Structure 1
Amino acid sequence: MNFLVGLTGGIGSGKTTVADIFTSFGVAIVDTDAIAHELTGPRGGAMEAIAEAFGPGVLLPQGGLDRAAMRRVAFSDPEAKRRLEGILHPLIRSETERRCVAMAWAPYVMLVVPLLVESGVYRQRVDRVLVVDCNESTQVERVIARSGLTAEEVRAIMATQASREERLAVADDVILNEGDRAELEDRILPLHRRYLELAEVAGRHLTQR
């Protein structure tokens, strides 16, 4: 198995931008959010079970998941949220595992997991935890700008996630993302070099067993 770096951060922290920069350095990215979108798109692998569990009210005309409708259901009913997670999470984990194994060509794999801190499963699987950090006000501003949600809606989503303090408490490495992309690249490059070294050492240990 490849050396795995778990990338996480709160909504609006800039995980996608950070992952894109690591990709430009030749790192393989496995994004659990992207996998979830595939599973809940038209003809996605989770849609039959979701339709059976929640009915047509959470479906788009094309057959994919109506995320806004599902969000309203999940936020108003904790049991519905648990049912949705019970459908999606095993499928996401299975596909994540498959993709990580297929990335044997990469120097290391970055596993992007928004809820890594909340999930004991992923925390146990990765070799390092990298947290993208920023002020909570920055998170709110970014999400409003890209999604059209209100500040109250964004903060409601944030309230369901680990706090900033909880994420930082489990981090092996932290990237502060309050500036521009060039500043972010300067912070990421030393980390990338460090991960290359750690991956090489881990690889040597495996071959010596």
Structure 2
Amino acid sequence: MQVVHFGHACVLLDTGSTRILIDPGTFSTGFEDVQDLDAVLITHQHFDHLDVEKLPKLLAANPGAQLIVDEGSAPSVENPTIARPGDVLKVGDTTVKVVGGQHAVIHEDIPVIPNTGYVVGDGAFYHPGDALFVPDEDVDVLGLPSGAPWMRTGEAVDFMRAVKPRVAVPIHEAVLAMPEMAYRHFENLKPAGTEVRPLKRGEETAV
């Protein structure tokens, strides 16, 4: 699989026959010009995962792409397919399993919103959105959150250990002044058999 990390939570997955863009948000750049998409997936409604101003142009440039969103994001976009936990969706030649369901708790005074994780291609790639839900199938490549108001570094490490991917690709790093510090902890505390591989922003990489 080819993966492009456009910064923060936004990744492009290319299986060779299917192209899927996940979470084009306001902290990410470069996704605006992506073409030949089969689907755009949104995990939840927060602006760093869903740029409502840029999304219409992106979809106009990809008229064949499905727009798949969680229930909380649906009112902000036009003509979406709503993804709910337990759904198994078909995108091109690839399956997308919907998991999780709730955003991680930031603070007890802040309402919890929907969040859908996406397991793409029978475990080829897992994007958890803003949650640390562990799916019940093997994951080859994990999009590993690096920093967030709802998460400590130790929680990210435990999540990586629970999922046990072959490769952990750090994402959700834009809130950190020095994401390399988190990456070092991931490298030092990773489970046996896992490679931690930060991707160069905007560069297509085989994983």
Give the TM-score normalised by structure 1.
0.31
Higher strand share: 2
Higher helix share: 1
| Higher normalized contact order (CA 8 Å, seq sep 6+, divided by chain length) | 1
Give the TM-score normalised by structure 2.
0.31
